Homo-oligomer: A and B are copies of this chain.
Amino acid sequence: MPEPIDFYFDFSSPYGYLMAEKIDAVAAKHGRKVKWHPILLGVIFQATGARPPTEGVSSRGRYMANDFHRSARFMGIPYSPPSRFPLPTQNAARAFYWLHGQDCALARRFAHAAYRALFVDDRDISSPDTVLDIAASLGVDRAQLAAALQTPEIKARLKDECDAALAAGIFGSPHVIIDGEHFFGADRLPQIERWLETGGF
């Protein structure tokens, strides 16, 4: 049984969303499972000294806004630019890890729902209420999740996940690792497919 593929992403990353819509199916075609790791790009950028790619260089920022949309069309994925962007995603990420402790398939459905809430329905997923609403729509007990999001344990869990991502060499979103080989960006999906097909090239 091969090891699962690791998929690191921030819930505010448009290219992370595009990868999230595709990676499970691509992996499944080659008999592989995917382990999802929501992380906080703010923590990653602060630790590595990187700048958010959409900031600082105005021509690049304009390019990326157009490229998010065009790349989504190219990949056949619905996309609508969110009103608030970028935005903090610790509530969504903590909810994911808490749900994952209960039911990993449910956590996966939550991740898809949170990404689509932001990048299709323009909902502000930085808000705890929105995160709770999304989880509740999947049958999660709202009050229980609300309480869980306040615990030191879930905060420490997300911090540990970000530290582990840094230790694994993650510097952005999306970032996929297959048997030690790193792939950064939704545009590496064709290389990921060939890598899975051929076992490396």
Contacts and interface: CB of A to CB of B under 8 A. Distances in A.
Interface of A: 48-51, 56-60, 62-63, 66-67, 70-71, 73-74, 169-172, 182, 184-185, 187-188, 190-191, 194, 201
A74 B190 CA distance: 9
Contacts of A49: 56-57
Interface of A is mostly: helix
Contact of A171 (B60, B70, B71, B190): B60
Given A60-B171, A63-B169, A74-B190, 6 more contacts: A51-B51, A57-B171, A63-B182, A66-B182, A70-B191, A187-B187
A57 B48 contact: yes
Across chains A and B, which 4 residue pairs bring their CB atoms closest together, nearest first?
A187-B187, A59-B169, A60-B171, A48-B57
Contacts of A66: 182
Nearest to A48: B57
A192 to B, nearest CB: 11
Contacts of A48: 57-60
Contacts of A172: 60
A25 to B, nearest CB: 18
A194 B71 CA distance: 11
A184 B60 CA distance: 9
A21 B71 CA distance: 23
A172 B59 CA distance: 10
Given A50-B56, A57-B48, A63-B169, A185 B187 contact: yes
A182 B59 CA distance: 11
A170 B57 CA distance: 11
